[in-house]
Amino acid sequence: MKRALVAALLVGSSALADIPPDDSWQCQGKAAGVECVTQAGLEGVCTSKLVPRWDYRHGLPPKTIHVELMICVAPVAGPAPRSALAGVLLAMMAMLAAFFSRRRPA
């Protein structure tokens, strides 16, 4: 957080891109796909993302705008395939249940 604060103060050239969110300072000046380490200490890859932020240039209340930033993103270990597998299993169970429930009255 402290590094993010310092980074927030460091970047002064663009009013729109000067509040780096967590895990953005690691990817400053790097291209997409470059390896990095997240604040949580996980190995990740610099990925371009749209980040919401306030824009005070026109006064209060601040507008919410989206800015494209390079962020260090750690690959999610496993959950995606697992959730897909769980979905497939659930669908198969639902089909089986439907099949047997139809056959019972007969």
Partner 1 sequence: MTPHAAWSLLDRPRASLYRLGAPWLGPLCADRTRRVFWLALLTIASSLALTCVAPLWLLALGPLLLGVPHLLADARYLVVRPGLHRRRVLWLCVPPLVAMGFSAPPWVGLLALVPPVFAAHGSTARRALVLALVVALVGLAVRFETPFLFAFVHAHNVIAVALWWSLKPRGASGLGLLGLVALATLGLLCGVADPIVTAFHGWAAPASRASFEQFVAATAPLDDGVLAGRVVLTFAFWQSLHYGAWLRLIPDDARPRAAPRPFRASWLALRADFGVGPLLLVGALAVGFAAWGLVDAGAARVGYLNVAAFHGYLELAAVALVVIEARRP
Residues of this chain that bind partner 1 (CB under 8 A): 1-2, 4-6, 8-13, 15-16, 18-19, 53-62
CB of 5: closest distance to partner 1 in angstroms? Answer: 6
Residue number with CB closer to partner 1 (64 or 101): 64
Cα–Cα distance between 67 and 72 in angstroms, integer?
15
Residue number with CB closer to partner 1 (45 or 53): 53
Q: Is the peptide bond before 105 cis (omega within 30 degrees of 0)?
A: no
CB of 16: closest distance to partner 1 in angstroms? Answer: 8
CA distances from residue 79 to 49, 87, 89 in whole angstroms, order as listed = 21, 12, 15
CB of 45: closest distance to partner 1 in angstroms? Answer: 25
Enumerate the H helices of the chain as residue ranges: 2-10, 79-103
